[in-house]
């Protein structure tokens, strides 16, 4: 009898504790799966947040930014116009196509422009098979270990204010110290890993065809890299990739890999002051990059084979 009572009490305590944790997770909403939260700042950007962004397109016009962590700071504040940053989809063409294909006519008309960062270093061949159905709003009652960690981190950071960055509602990341820079960058002793295949190319072509069908302009951009990484990049290999895109009638490709005054900029201590990490511009220089290059037509703009060959030859001389 005592054993049975103990089991019943244990089950009751477990269910009560689990229910409390689930309610707390729901009202705190650390992973931005819902449209509400009792805490102010958010720190975890999941792919599921694109559901919230999907709904935002129903009500207003936006510029869409697809890319990786190389573009995750591009925001409404920087653009000075409504912007949605989808670095949560991590530039994976399958996820991007899945998002675009489920938009209705009103949402499509609310897209004013697309900026698409192509990063062949950041797992470009990764395929995420867990595609989101944007018409279904499912609420899972299963709490995982990572969800609980994100919950407690959200509460802790909001209470003690011990964070260096947080997520904006548009999906971008905002850094409290926009000029923070890395102290040193190690020398790269092997060729930079740049990956692509025919599927990646064809998926990008499909995205481009979608934009042309609905008269939406896409500007394709690349990351800015530091000079040490730049020196080990294989631009012959890169040229084949971009030539394939051009052969498929893709235009407005902007190869920003090396920008003088960004990639090679150092202070008197030899520190690369434009980079917050070895392969990420800091917020100050992302803003400058956006306004000086991305939002303007620059010498890095490629629209045909002749321009690509000219760019590749000039860039290889800088190595």
Dist CA 177 CA 206 (whole Å): 38
Whether pTM exceeds 0.75: yes
**Arithmetic mean of pLDDT, 282-304:** 96
- Would the pLDDT of 123 be above 60? no
Distance from the Cα of residue 55 to its chain's centroid: 19
pLDDT of residue 190: 65
- Across 122-131, b (16+ Cβ under 10 Å) vs e yields bebeeeeeee
Residue 57 neighbours by CB under 8 Å, 6+ apart: 84, 103, 107, 110, 111
Residue 75 neighbours by CB under 8 Å, 6+ apart: 83, 85, 168, 170, 172, 174
Average pLDDT, the chain: 91
pLDDT tens across 8-58, in order?
888 888 888 888 999 999 999 999 888 889 999 999 988 889 999 999 999
pLDDT of residue 188: 73
CA atoms lying within 13 Å on the CB side of residue 214: 21
pLDDT tens across 130-140, in order?
889 998 877 67
| Residue the block writes with tokens 């939406």 | 216
Q: For residues 90, 58, 169 and 49, what is the CA-based torsion angle, rounded to 10 degrees? A: -40
Q: For residues 239, 244, 249 and 250, what is the CA-based torsion angle, rounded to 10 degrees? A: -60
């Amino acid at each position: 009898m005592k054993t049975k009572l103990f089991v019943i009490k244990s089950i009751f305590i477990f269910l009560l504790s689990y229910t409390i944790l689930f309610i707390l997770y729901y009202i705190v909403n650390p992973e931005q799966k819902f449209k509400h939260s009792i805490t102010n700042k958010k720190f975890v950007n999941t792919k599921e947040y694109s559901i919230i962004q999907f709904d935002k397109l129903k009500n207003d016009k936006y510029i869409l930014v697809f890319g990786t962590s190389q573009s995750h700071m591009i925001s409404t504040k920087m653009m000075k116009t409504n912007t949605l940053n989808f670095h949560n989809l991590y530039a994976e063409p399958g996820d991007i196509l899945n998002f675009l294909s489920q938009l209705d006519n009103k949402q499509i008309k609310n897209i004013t422009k697309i900026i698409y960062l192509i990063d062949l270093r950041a797992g470009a061949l990764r395929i995420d098979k867990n595609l989101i159905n944007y018409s279904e709003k499912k609420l899972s009652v299963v709490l995982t270990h990572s969800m609980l960690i994100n919950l407690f981190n959200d509460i802790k950071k909001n209470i003690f204010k011990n964070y260096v960055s947080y997520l904006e509602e548009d999906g971008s990341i905002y850094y409290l110290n926009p000029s923070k820079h890395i102290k040193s960058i190690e020398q790269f002793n092997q060729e930079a890993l740049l990956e692509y295949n025919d599927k990646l190319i064809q998926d990008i072509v499909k995205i481009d065809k979608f934009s042309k069908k609905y008269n939406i302009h896409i500007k394709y951009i690349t990351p800015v890299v530091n000079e040490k990484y730049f020196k080990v990049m294989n631009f012959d290999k890169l040229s084949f990739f971009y030539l394939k895109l051009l052969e498929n009638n893709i235009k407005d490709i902007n190869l920003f890999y090396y920008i003088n005054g960004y990639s090679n900029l150092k202070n008197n201590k030899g520190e690369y002051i434009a980079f917050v990490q070895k392969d990420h511009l800091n917020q100050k220089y992302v803003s400058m990059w956006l306004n000086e290059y991305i939002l303007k037509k620059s010498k890095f703009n490629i629209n045909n084979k002749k321009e690509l060959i000219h760019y590749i030859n000039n860039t290889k001389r800088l190595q």
